[in-house]
A and B are shown apart, each in its own frame.
Chain A
Amino acid sequence: MSAPRVIVIGGGLGGLWATLAIAEAGHSVMLFSLFEVMRSHSACAQGGINAVLDMKGQRDSVQQHIIDTIKGGSYLANQPPIQSMCEDAPGLIRTFERMGVTFSRTPEGLLDQRLFGGVRHKRTCFAGASTGQQLLYGVDQQVRRLETEGQVEKQEWWEFLSIVKDADGVCRGIVAMDLRSLEVRAFRADAVVLASGGLGQIYAPKTTCSTNSTGAAASRVYQQGARFANAEFFQFHPTAMLGEDKTRLMTEAARGEGGRVWVPKDPNDRREPIRIPESERFYFLEDWYPTYGNTVPRDIASRAIWKVTRELGLGVGAVGEHGAGKRGAGQRGAEEGSAGESRDRVYLDLTHLDRGFVSTRLGAILSIYRKFAGVDPLDAPMEIFPAAHYAMGGLWVDYEKDATTGGMKPGSPRNHATSIPGLYACGECDYAYHGANRLGANSLLSASYSGRVAGEAVASYLSGLEQGADAVPAALFEAETARQSGINERLTKASGDQNPFRLHRELGDLMTTKVGVVRDNAELDAALSGLREIEQRFERLDLGESSRWANQSLAHARQVLDMLKLAQVMAASARARDECRGAHFKPAFDLAIPEGKFPGDPEFETYRERWKANNAEWLKTTVAEHHPDGPRIGFEPVDLGLLSPEQPRDYR
């Protein structure tokens, strides 16, 4: 067996951390990216990264970080990986700091920390409001150094199309497409790490995700047999600003630093928000959740905004403001803009805070809001609404539990292994850490941590590998290359009337309206048939582009087709789960906490019993497997070894 070679797909935080870990174990890495490495969506993360350093004298503890993460995810995540992630978080921060990441500082020159959602302690390290960008650049610089040392070879402008499996079903390489020459080529590898990020583009344009966060790569390995878990759990970030082309994130740190969410008490109040007196404002999060206030977890905040705008009719944002222009003569006027849409927003207010403080701590989002909305959040409240943000679900990955610690066994080749031998997954494309709802600032942590763990696991896997990819017959690679080239040919030659970009928009509209913040089984059935209908229309594709060089329509059409497959997994998984848990909210099955009742009250205890009975039925991981007719949905138990579900989530 020649020197092992590993392929990493994706140059965001997860992929770069995996690359570092594999290269440091002495193996060479080929790093595939759709674009220049450093432009990945990790750069968009703003608010921070969680690690218990207890810089603020609040007696924060790793144990509390673990509990917050478990409960934030409604107990749905396996607990050993959460335990290990939280335990390793301080060490990750130390390593980032050594890399030169410009974390914000206290007057003593130490790491500053701030408050985030679903948490009572200041636990979030940050670099202004561009933390993801800073962390990404930190590892990007290290990988660039390894590149100069010959340890890492970058394949930029290549799109992953499929894995190549040997006769035993072991992953032995990939087939990828050069996005310039459109060449389809096979690459042998002894192990493959998928770090392809999230899938928010399935909700485009009402998503905070970058346009390359399509989920297509994860969908491709799912269609090749990798299991996909908890697909119904998708996070809608409560505070995003409306835009025609995308919804731009306004970090949760805005609330962590003291920002307040409100609407006018009188829905007909048309005064400028700054002129509405305090007594005529409804601070609904503070009112409904006095303990956590504006920093309730995201699923709770998004549903509260939904309730205020959709049920109570108290939303702001009148026709005539910039967001409402879509009812004009634009090409999209016909299908967009239901009557209520323009009043879906609520205020996120920073104007009561010290201007210098806000500028230092949140400068990056102030700049985004000024540039894209033309309003300075220091002078007027921002108008925000929930938007598709983060996939808690993803490729199913394994772990080995350490019997002595209860966490993940360090260096086990099982950690972050998908259900296909030799294929690993890390970062947002896996499902491992966040259960039914992710806590803010836990994603930069899980992306970094899981990348490193996956890299270490690959190193162990390689040391136990008896036969390398070199021994695999060339015919297997040639066959898969031919299959992928055939798909390109078919799409290029199709001569119908369906534009791939328009099909993508229809997909986004369908998912936004039918598989969104609030779900209903009839709507989910309609979503499933709608998705199949869009998929069928691919038979009548018109690529609209004939170029054989850098043909972006071809790459996009392939992505949309794979997004449709993944969207079906999401809808089918949501259909199968008849309960409310975290981000998955089906009102028909809601077990609401009795209002004004707390532990000890008979009504609350009755509720607790019902909640436990519901857990007995539904506290299980959803696992989808690909089948030509559609996804097969099954369930598997969750490891609750650390914290058994005795306490319902309660942020009041």
Chain B
Amino acid sequence: MQAETRSNAARINEPFAAAAKLTPDHGRETGASRTPDRADVGSRTVELRIRRQDGPTAAPYWQSFRLEARPGANIVSLLMDLREHCVTASGEPVDPVAFEHNCMEEVCGACAMLINGVPRPACSALIADLETPIRLEPLPKFPVVRDLMVDRAQLFAQLKRVKAWIRIDGAWDNHERAPRISPQDWAANYLYSRCMSCGCCLAACPQFGPEQAFVGPASLAQVRLMNAHPTGRHDKAERLHAIMADGGLSDCGNAQNCVRVCPKKIPLTTAIGELGRQTTVQALKDLFGGR
């Protein structure tokens, strides 16, 4: 066991890892680099170095574990194995590592954490693709609940702040359909509607954090999505005003970390660019009247 020397706040505020390091293995999505047969990988022993914390106010500390990783294993499956038999590399039995997971196919957003310094969902982080020892830390910028569990309430508060919903008269059938949407517009909108609120983009964003007011890329992308909907457009001005206020769009420092780490490859910076134009137009409207 190795004592943690830096405080949580220091960890959060430290300059974020170099951009090059912030790229999870998106290359594998092309599938071209991988052969179908992974027999050569075999079962192997890997070392996990996990940053633990017993509670929100407890001091963090590091523990190392050595585990058998079967072919195809991912971080979630290793942490699941660890629950059954949680003994450190030095042979000390300890409490299992607390972590979140649910769907295990990268659609629920629960298991995001910092893996070798990169925020990403743990379920799709395959051991075969990771450098060892593998460092696991809780998702930065969010308060730690315990070990690798964090509280992402802030993310959902931001969705409320920007009114990330379509205001409908009620969830009953009024025999009306929404207006038509072209396949081209659909394709653009669908990119944003897949955001699973995992928080990776916020973890990577230098402008987002507990001490900062910035709304963050995830919610901004939802403003882009809602403003594009034929009914959502009715509240466009209100949403834009929400992101034109303090901690809004203008706080984006254009580091582009968000778009590099997004596991769903959502074009977050494109959304931010579009919103830049929308807010400019809105500012002029505000100045000269009209909506």
Contact = CB atoms under 8 A, between A and B. Distances in A.
Interface of A: 17, 20-21, 24, 35-36, 38-41, 43-44, 88, 91-92, 94-95, 97-110, 127-128, 130, 133-134, 137, 139, 141-142, 144-145, 147-148, 180, 210-212, 243-246, 248-249, 272, 320-323, 325-326, 328-332, 360, 364, 367-368, 370-376, 378-380, 452, 499, 501-502, 505, 544-547, 549-550, 552-553, 556
Contacts of A92: 173
A21 B171 contact: yes
A36 B170 CA distance: 24
A552 B176 CA distance: 46
A587 to B, nearest CB: 33
B174 to A, nearest CB: 8
Contact of A91 (B39, B159, B175, B187): B175
Interface stretch (B192-200, B209-217, B242-250): B192-200
A329 B71 CA distance: 11
Interface in B102-129: 102-110, 123-124, 126
Nearest to A34: B102
B109 A99 contact: no
Given A38-B197, A144-B159, A371-B124, A44 B107 contact: yes
Report, nearest first, the 3 A-B pairs whose CB atoms are least far apart.
A376-B31, A91-B173, A109-B180
B190 A374 contact: no
A79 B204 CA distance: 53
Interface residues of B, number: 86
Given A92-B173, A108-B180, A141-B166, 17 more contacts: A35-B102, A36-B110, A38-B196, A39-B108, A105-B181, A127-B190, A127-B193, A210-B103, A245-B76, A322-B41, A322-B71, A360-B187, A364-B194, A374-B126, A380-B36, A544-B83, A546-B95
A415 to B, nearest CB: 16
A43 B226 CA distance: 20
Contacts of A546: 95
Contacts of A552: 83, 96, 98
Secondary structure call for the B interface:
loop
Interface of B: 28-32, 34-39, 41-43, 54-55, 68, 70-74, 76-77, 80-81, 83-86, 95-96, 98, 100-110, 123-124, 126, 145-146, 149, 152, 156, 159-160, 163-168, 170-178, 180-183, 186-187, 189-190, 193-194, 196-197, 225-226, 229, 231-232
A375 B156 contact: no
B145 A24 contact: no
A323 B70 CA distance: 10
Contacts of A17: 171
A99 B43 contact: no
Contacts of A97: 177-178
B223 to A, nearest CB: 12
30 contacts: A36-B110, A36-B152, A40-B108, A43-B196, A44-B105, A94-B175, A95-B173, A98-B168, A98-B176, A99-B166, A101-B193, A103-B186, A105-B181, A142-B168, A144-B156, A144-B164, A180-B145, A180-B146, A321-B36, A321-B38, A321-B39, A322-B41, A325-B38, A328-B43, A374-B31, A374-B36, A499-B84, A546-B95, A549-B146, A552-B96
A106 B187 CA distance: 11
B102 A325 contact: no
Max chain A C-beta neighbours (<10 A), residue from B35, B108, B193 = B108
A261 to B, nearest CB: 18
Contacts of B174: 94
Contacts of B177: 94, 97-98
Contacts of A108: 180
A320 B231 CA distance: 54
Contacts of A102: 186, 189-190, 193
Given A39-B102, A501-B84, A550-B146, A370 B31 contact: yes
A492 B74 CA distance: 30
A211 B104 contact: yes
Contacts of A544: 83-84, 86, 95-96
A330 B160 contact: no
Contact of B77 (A212, A244, A272, A545): A244
Contacts of A43: 103, 107-108, 196
A374 B80 contact: no
Max chain B C-beta neighbours (<10 A), residue from A243, A367, A376 = A367
Nearest to A377: B31
A180 B178 CA distance: 42
A371 B265 CA distance: 13
B37 A246 contact: no
A321 B165 contact: no
A329 B68 contact: yes
Max chain A C-beta neighbours (<10 A), residue from B41, B84, B149, B231 = B84
A556 B186 CA distance: 41
A94 B168 CA distance: 12
A502 B176 CA distance: 52
A149 B109 CA distance: 26
A128 B175 contact: no
B110 A39 contact: yes
